[in-house]
Structure 1
Amino acid sequence: MSRKRTTSSSGLPASVSRSTTRPAEVTGRRDARPGRRVLAGVLAGAVCACLPALPASAATTEPVVSRGVTIPAFYTPPTELPGANGALVRTEALPLGLSIPGLDGRPMPGTATRLMYRSTDSTGQPVAVTGAYIEPSAAWKGPGPRPLVALASGTMGQGDQCAPSFALQNPLTLNGDTVSVGYEALAIYRLLATGAAVVVTDYVGLGTTDRLHTYVNRVDQAHALLDAARAARSVPGASVTAASRTGLYGYSQGGGASAAAAELQPSYAPDVPLAGTYAGAPPADLTSVMKGIDGSALAGALAWSISGFAQADPDLRAVVDANINATGKAALADASTMCVGDALFGYGFTKSSKWTTSGKTMGEIIAADSRAQAALDKQRIGALKPAGPVRLATGVQDDIVPHAQARQLAVDWCRKGAQVTYDAINLPNLGDKILTNHLVPLITDQGDAVSWLTDRLSGKAATSNCWSMPIQP
């Protein structure tokens, strides 16, 4: 029988089971299409949150359907995982949705492989993660073997159909229930044009059908990204080797992932030869970021954060259980199957005060509870010195992933003696809480980010402007 996502008393999608169908209680209509299931107990809290999660080895015999999108069987983890982090579980050819034939017969910008590999989550348990490796058509013209860029995508959503590797094959998904746009393709293709190979992680629980995506979990994201770099070396036909210089690249959620990976690389993956890291608009301080996204166009991301952390941390789960109301229960369950496009339409500009029994925001509730605040503080990026040079860029008007907390990360790293290039992207205010202040720097800084990382992959030394910290811009 197929797994079915149920909920705790808080209405959180419990990890004892997994389904990604839209609840009729939320939509107000019956969905009779084959493969769809109604979320049981969304408002009744049928399953106790204290039940253990299914192991990553759990498997289904029926396809998982997420908001009308059938998740390929490839994304269902096997009953057993390899013993080493970064070891491949399986691979298959991945047709790129945006690709053209090259003059030499090879597709441009490259040949893609879908992959599943082993990683370790924040609780120390083995977990299957999916992603994609792209062997570029362009030749590498720099010194040494072809380098590798491990790319962490920006926010895609929490439904399995939102996985970045899925978006590479389906750049635009519009089916009435799901709105998914593969916006990271531009950065990926620009990196491939330099001759560097690219490996993309889907993160823990995004795509893989056995668990909920642990959105912005510092350790989960870092491990998934570093293990993707390890896995790329074993992809059949890949030209990268253990000696290939490796760069990390990410913006927004991806910026947090690449920043955390740079911090954890020395202890978790010293075998990854890290040459440089680009961290754009990283959510380093989630307490600050929660305030930024609450009531914004991206308010649905707050639901993803709450669901993901409450699943993994008993203290946060207890606080959510005690404070969430019926509307909040339904919203968290519904949002947990959404992509970012769905969330913009479904929960844009929603305030979390509507989800709580007290009428306080989730940020206020967490700030007032020492257990919850301590749990969130464990997610803070900046407590460790990153390996290798880092370029950290953030828009000065960014009010979704606030500029001040991203800049503070640069200050924290500089104080630890890190080699940091900090770039404050000085644009005018393009609209409060509507995502423009956050998204425009993604595009305007991309060329500089790719050039900076290409220089690191070529072995060129990086400069640092830590001397300017902590002077305010």
Structure 2
Amino acid sequence: MGIRRAVGVAVVACALAATPAAADPLYLPPQDLAAHANGEILQSREIAASALLVPLPVRSWQVQYKSSDSDDNATTGVATILVPNTPWPGPGPRPLVAFQAAIDSVGTRCDPSYAIRDGIQTTGFTNSQAEMPFALAGLLRGWALVIADFQGPQARFFDGPQNAHSVLDAIRATLRFAPAGLPTSTPIGAYGVSGGAFATAWAAKLQPSYAPEIPLAAALLGDLPARPASLNGINRGPEAGLLVLALVAAVRNNPESRLEELLNERGRAVLAENQTACASELLPKYLNADINEFSAVPDLFAEPRVQAVLAAQNLGTCAPAAPLYVYHSVADELIPIDSVDATVAEYRAHGTDVTYVRSQIPTHTGAGWGELPGGLTFLADRLTREAYR
């Protein structure tokens, strides 16, 4: 959900040449994976990082680490660590901030680790490429960033627990990675916009139980897809390709629900041909599509099985311990603001400290960019408070 329709249409002619993980040792799990602790570094390498084709003035590495999927089975994660070349002026040690890009894909070739290492030369233009200016905003504040391929080796879009585990274990790995030079006392924050906000919110939600030793100072959530079922409103519109993305992910992530039984022959073909797709491909491909043309039932997203799968990804059902800064446009055309209103109310009812901006800036993209500086200022303030503790 981070990439916008205009971008998707503009890059329709840009071929996305896959870089298979099987060809890169960094993405291959060790045979004794289950013997390692979550967040333990398994491999690392130094890289030259770039945003699109522009080199970043940072020291940069990629690490593979042990993590757990949504069923607590052993899996791996890959994250990119970026540390600005400029000295940190203080107070305290340089903060570590987990930035979650809106990966929006069901294929690992769309992950930020590819985007940051190869620019657009290998993978073409993906959501992770489009998200790099959000990362640059954090680097310009002097923060060290860790950017996880949080969907994991199976590219599990809209799998909140798995996404959260990967983010939190990336933070653990970065704190253990001596070349980054970050002490265990470093203040820690997190941020993301749109699909990146979903992963950030789930990480904040599960941090008290999954990684209680991580003192998360605050989390920034922009354009939050708090209720995935609410995306059904984009059907037959310019962003309808995102519903195809959500459908492929829901079927693949939840085989026990047998959602493929709800599809017609055309729908099953759509599933088969989009198993590694990025949003940048699906948006132009399914421009103004009707998701129900792929369905054997009248209203696919109203089906109880589909509703149950999507509801399991809802946010707000328990309270993050960290303070939150949430912003969302009252005129967001992708994610209705009432779903965010309800989530914020639930957070507050559970005791979470939430600063909520109901933005008057129109559109998903407009608020995503326009409200970011205020959110980053909030995050910086919370990181500074943590440094003085």
Partner residue, 2:6 = none
1:407 maps to 2:331 = no
Per-residue Cα deviation, 1:421-469 (whole angstroms, up to 9, x for no partner): 00111024xxxxxxxx2122121122112221111111179xxxxxxxx
Partner residue, 1:278 = 220
Quote the Cα distance in structure 1 between the aligned partners of 2:165 and 2:209.
11
Quote the Cα distance in structure 2 between the aligned partners of 1:91 and 1:392.
34
Partner residue, 2:8 = none
Aligned residues: 368
1:95 maps to 2:48 = yes
Quote the Cα distance in structure 1 between the aligned partners of 2:29 and 2:286.
31
Query: Residue 31 of structure 2 is aligned with which of 71, 74, 79?
Result: 79
Query: Residue 142 of structure 2 is aligned with which of 195, 212, 216?
Result: 195
Deviation at 1:70, TM superposition (A): 2.5
| Farther off after superposition, 403-412 or 67-76 | 67-76
Partner residue, 2:329 = 395
Deviation at 1:337, TM superposition (A): 1.7
- Classify 1:415/1:438 alpha carbon distance in 2 versus 1 (closer, same or farther; 3 Å): same
Deviation at 1:115, TM superposition (A): 1.6
Contact 2:52 2:119 survives alignment (8 Å): no
3-state secondary structure, aligned to 2:78: strand
Partner residue, 1:228 = 170
Tell which has more relative contact order, 1 or 2 (C-alpha 8 A, sep 6+).
2
- Classify 1:201/1:455 alpha carbon distance in 2 versus 1 (closer, same or farther; 3 Å): same
Matching residue's letter, 2:59:
T
Partner residue, 1:245 = 187
| Identical columns (%) | 29
1:313 maps to 2:254 = yes
Deviation at 1:251, TM superposition (A): 0.8
Unaligned runs of 5+ in 2: 1-14
Quote the Cα distance in structure 2 between the aligned partners of 1:136 and 1:160.
27
Normalising by the residue count of structure 1, what TM-score does the alignment of the two structures yield? Answer: 0.73
Matching residue's letter, 1:69:
A
Normalising by the residue count of structure 2, what TM-score does the alignment of the two structures yield? Answer: 0.88
Matching residue's letter, 1:328:
G
The within-5 A match list for 1:261-272 is 261-272=203-214
Matching residue's letter, 2:31:
T
Per-residue Cα deviation, 1:217-253 (whole angstroms, up to 9, x for no partner): 1111111111111111122411222221110101111
Partner residue, 2:130 = 183
Structure with the higher fraction of residues in helix conformation: 2
Contact 1:394 1:407 survives alignment (8 Å): no
Quote the Cα distance in structure 1 between the aligned partners of 2:186 and 2:310.
35
Query: Residue 362 of structure 1 is aligned with which of 300, 311, 324?
Result: 300
The within-5 A match list for 1:424-439 is 424-428=358-362, 437-439=363-365
Query: Residue 17 of structure 2 is aligned with which of 68, 75, 78?
Result: 68
Quote the Cα distance in structure 1 between the aligned partners of 2:191 and 2:386.
17
Unaligned runs of 5+ in 1: 1-65, 102-106, 429-436, 462-473
Matching residue's letter, 2:172:
R
Quote the Cα distance in structure 2 between the aligned partners of 1:109 and 1:361.
50
Deviation at 1:137, TM superposition (A): 1.4
1:160 maps to 2:113 = no
1:118 maps to 2:66 = yes
Per-residue Cα deviation, 1:300-344 (whole angstroms, up to 9, x for no partner): 33233233233333443x2x2221112112212322322221112
1:457 maps to 2:383 = yes
Quote the Cα distance in structure 1 between the aligned partners of 2:236 and 2:326.
26
Larger Rg: 1
- Classify 1:303/1:241 alpha carbon distance in 2 versus 1 (closer, same or farther; 3 Å): farther
Per-residue Cα deviation, 1:32-65 (whole angstroms, up to 9, x for no partner): xxxxxxxxxxxxxxxxxxxxxxxxxxxxxxxxxx
